[in-house]
Amino acid sequence: MPDNRSTATPAVPRRALVTGAAGFIGSHLAHTLARAGTTVIGVDRRDPARDQTAAANIAPLHSHPGYLHITADLLTCAVDPLLIDTDVVFHLAGIPGVRPSWGPQFSEYVNANILATQRLMDAATRMRVPRLVVASSSSVYGPTNGGPSTEGDHPRPASPYAVTKLAEEQLCLAHASRSDCSTSVVALRYFTVYGPRQRPDMFTHRVLHAAMTGQPLSLYGDGHQRRDFTYIDDVVTATISAAGAPIDTGIVNVGGGSNASLLDVINIANALVGREIQIHTDGARNGDVLTTRADLRRARSVLGWQPTVDLPAGMRAHMRAMSRSAHRSAA
């Protein structure tokens, strides 16, 4: 684990439900919780017996007796039994990705990000779950003037995906404000997360893949887009901190503190492998904003958290993990 500054380890809950546990962020979160002694139920609609990515993501959890994996779709399954005696729900299940959301898959986004969330919040209210932490997204801010986005800024989502994420977080907050709801909600707006097991559609994975294989990289636009890239271990620490944060309900940014351009990422990858990635320039994509940048004051005060891993260190760790996984596949 690359760690260039010190970070406090947050207290872990006794028993938790992690939705989206076979995904990139959910599997890291479930693993960290299980290792720290939390009894974790992980639920995901992808079946690890049939889906290689899901199987690889949850492989590190096999050795933990405190982890139970359930393959189920939150849109249709009985949710109440998943919540019995649960202290906190970490709701990471969803359909991510900005660019494909313009296509016919939009109904999938609505089903997973809005309708399934409605079912989960209904059940959490009924089962009197004390806290739900939901994975929201920096994409809800939309285009900015380049300065840091604060949680009180007016959201201007610029893609169908971002619209569903804004609906998702607001839906959770609306439930939490019901007079008969004792579930407090913390919505975390994650900023472009990277690191081991990152989704292969995402930029950092694709850059490192191009660097390691010599295959060309498609660059959408001129590469001057900037992202507040956030390392996965920092995201997991912030998410666990949110379970115990002393607030009733609210929204908190989770960003990496390293607002870098896509060209910066390419340069770091070039330096890591000692050769230049071959780039194919392609058109900028609808819904992609020029800049994301997190104001982290609220994260510091409410979660007692700040990012610890800078981009070069995080990318080195990400590349090491990709090399290990390539060697395993080749063996």
Catalytic residues: 161
164 binds ligand UGA (CB under 6 A): no
Q: Per rule CB under 6 A, is residue 133 in the interface with ligand NAD? A: no
- Give min distance, CB of 192 to ligand NAD, in A: 5
Provide, rounded to whole angstroms, the least separation between the CB of residue 25 and ligand UGA: 10
Q: Out of 227, 293, 298, 318, name the contact with ligand UGA by CB under 6 A.
A: 227
Listed ranges 98-106, 187-195, 286-294, 318-326: which one lies at the site for ligand NAD (CB under 6 A): 187-195
Chain centroid, CA 240 distance in Å: 13
The count of residues interacting with ligand NAD (CB under 6 A) is 27
Strand order from edge to edge, sheet including 67-71: 67-71, 39-44, 15-19, 88-91, 131-137, 184-190, 250-254
Tokens coding 79? 């949710």
Of residues 68 through 127, those in contact with ligand NAD by CB under 6 A are: 73-75, 92-96, 112, 116
131 lies in the site for ligand NAD, by CB under 6 A: no
Check residue 91 for interaction with ligand UGA (CB under 6 A). Answer: no
Long-range contacts of 316-321 (CB under 8 A, 24+ apart): 316/2, 316/272, 317/1, 317/2, 317/195, 317/196, 317/231, 318/194, 318/195, 318/196, 318/198, 318/204, 318/205, 318/208, 319/208, 319/211, 319/212, 319/269, 319/272, 321/195, 321/196, 321/197
Please name every residue paired with 279 in a beta bridge, in sequence order, or none if there are none. Answer: 217
Min dist. Cβ of residue 161 to ligand UGA (A) = 7
Q: Residue 322, interface with ligand UGA (CB under 6 A)?
A: no
Q: Is 137 in the site for ligand NAD (CB under 6 A)?
A: yes
| Cβ atoms of residues 240 and 32 within 8 Å | yes
Per CB under 6 A, residues contacting ligand NAD are: 20, 22-26, 43-46, 73-75, 92-96, 112, 116, 135, 137, 165, 190, 192-193, 199
